[in-house]
């Protein structure tokens, strides 16, 4: 079925800005707002909230509850995402027996955290599918960007999240990304040299990208607006749940053998199993999975055995999966991967890696 025109779908919004600018108060004005308060921001506010979450599992449970109760919750607010990130890091450390997310080395801890954030955002998509708006509140941080060719540098406001793994996921997920700050005007004294900041009380929200901040919207909002909820209230209006279609295979119609015999038709024989694998793996390991380092070579041999057992015939398939997850470039052979990466990611998490490999094999045009 083809439909035209805008659909009254739920919105996923991210509001970030400096401390004390009023982000929590702003989010509380959304219709039917219920908070998952990860840092105690709403303690002195008259708002609806879940019990304070002590773990990532608590947050996941609250999100799942929201998705199942659209009659009770109209807008789900997580305040703040940077505190939620700490719960994610704590969950990774608990699972891996670490004291710090960076103890794994090579940034692998942050990659595990990225997977957990992705799973959480998928749960939030279910909340949106139920017709419930989602608002994520986050603090901002400043990073200095150096321009090439001696063009200078400038400060940029960013989400106060892990820049490589978590922040990009959150920004991509959002339908609406608003940056909030105080407006400060620079004035020059009568001597023509001394410059001072003036104002600093007027709050402005920015809805479009700038060299100095990330922002975006899909609703035709102006570049900047007063930081008042009525400026965007129309976006958080009435919604309709999105039906989830589940494609079911139609079972093959069975014809009784007696009926076939009576009509003179030949009873078809069941197909014989050929016993042939999907892809025949060569017995010998390819050069891209051999190493002069005996310890690494043992790991590569083990990984190759797992690939053969799973009908993954070519190391390039694994390299493609690794490249998609942004660990190594696809042209880097597996023998050049770090030993810890081969053992802790490829071998230890082979079940997940194999699932991705099988998807790639299925998509091959031959």
Residues 46 and 139 in one domain: yes
**In this structure, is residue 319 part of a structural domain?**
yes
pLDDT per residue as tens digits for the range 319-360: 988 888 878 888 888 998 888 889 888 998 898 889 898 887
pLDDT score, position 171: 95
Residues 217 and 308 in one domain: no
Domain membership of residue 31 as a residue range: 12-236
From 218, 236, 254, the end of a domain falls on: 236
Report the sign of the C-alpha dihedral through residues 265, 267, 269, 270, in that order: positive
Q: How far apart are CA 54 and CA 247, in angstroms?
A: 38
Quickly state the pLDDT bin for 192 (edges 50, 70, 90): low
**In this structure, is residue 265 part of a structural domain?**
no
Q: Which two tokens stand for residue 124?
A: 């939030």
Domain total of the chain: 2
**In this structure, is residue 150 part of a structural domain?**
yes
From 193, 217, 236, the end of a domain falls on: 236
Residues 169 and 312 in one domain: no
Residues 54 and 185 in one domain: yes
From 236, 261, 279, the end of a domain falls on: 236
**In this structure, is residue 281 part of a structural domain?**
no
Is the distance from CB of 37 to CB of 50 less than 8 angstroms? yes
Q: Which two tokens stand for residue 260?
A: 């076939």
**In this structure, is residue 29 part of a structural domain?**
yes
CATH number of the domain to which 38 belongs: 3.40.50.300
| Residue whose token pair is 């595990």 | 112
In angstroms, how far is CA 76 from the centroid of its own chain?
18
**In this structure, is residue 100 part of a structural domain?**
yes
pTM of the model: 0.65
Q: Is the peptide bond before 80 cis (omega within 30 degrees of 0)?
A: yes
**In this structure, is residue 277 part of a structural domain?**
no
Q: Where are the beta strands (DSSP E) in 90-166?
A: 133-147, 152-159
Residues 302 and 195 in one domain: no
pLDDT per residue as tens digits for the range 209-240: 988 999 999 999 999 999 999 999 999 987 76
Pairing of strands 75-79, 133-147: parallel
Q: How far apart are CA 121 and CA 33, in angstroms?
A: 18
Residues 89 and 231 in one domain: yes
Length of the chain: 366
**In this structure, is residue 293 part of a structural domain?**
yes
Q: Is the peptide bond before 111 cis (omega within 30 degrees of 0)?
A: no
Q: How far apart are CA 101 and CA 110, in angstroms?
A: 7
Residues 110 and 195 in one domain: yes
Q: What is the mean pLDDT of residues 153-175?
A: 92
């Amino acid at each position: 079925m083809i439909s035209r025109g805008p659909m009254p779908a739920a919105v996923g919004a991210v509001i970030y800005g400096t401390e004390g600018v009023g982000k929590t108060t702003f989010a509380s004005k959304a219709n039917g707002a219920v908070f998952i308060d990860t840092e105690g921001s709403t303690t002195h506010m008259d708002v609806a909230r879940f019990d304070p979450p002590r773990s990532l599992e608590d947050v996941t449970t609250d999100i799942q509850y929201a998705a199942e109760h659209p009659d009770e919750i109209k807008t789900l607010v997580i305040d703040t995402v940077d505190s939620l990130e700490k719960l994610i890091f704590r969950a990774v450390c608990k699972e891996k027996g670490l004291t710090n997310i960076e103890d794994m080395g090579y940034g692998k801890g942050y990659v595990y955290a990225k997977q957990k954030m992705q799973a959480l955002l998928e749960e939030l998509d279910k909340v949106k599918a139920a017709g419930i708006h989602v608002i994520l509140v986050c603090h901002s941080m400043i990073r200095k960007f150096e321009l090439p060719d001696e063009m200078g540098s400038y400060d940029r406001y960013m989400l106060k999240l892990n820049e490589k793994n978590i922040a990009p996921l959150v920004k991509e997920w959002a339908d609406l990304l608003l940056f909030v700050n105080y407006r400060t005007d620079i004035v020059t004294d009568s001597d023509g040299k001394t410059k001072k900041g003036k104002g600093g009380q007027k709050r402005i929200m920015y809805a479009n990208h700038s060299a100095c901040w990330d922002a975006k919207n899909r609703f035709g909002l102006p570049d900047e607006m007063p930081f008042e909820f009525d400026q965007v209230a129309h976006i958080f209006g009435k919604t309709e749940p999105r039906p989830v279609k589940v494609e079911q295979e139609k079972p093959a119609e069975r014809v009784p053998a007696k009926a076939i015999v009576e009509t003179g038709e030949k009873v078809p024989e069941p197909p014989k199993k050929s016993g042939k694998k999907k892809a025949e793996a060569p017995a010998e390991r390819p050069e891209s999975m051999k190493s002069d380092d005996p310890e690494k070579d043992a790991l590569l041999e083990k990984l190759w055995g797992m690939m053969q057992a799973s009908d993954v015939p070519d190391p390039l398939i694994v390299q493609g999966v690794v490249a998609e997850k942004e660990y190594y470039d696809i042209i880097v052979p597996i023998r050049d991967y770090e030993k810890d990466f081969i053992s802790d990611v490829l071998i230890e998490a082979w079940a997940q890696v194999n699932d991705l490999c099988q998807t790639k094999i299925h998509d091959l045009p031959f």
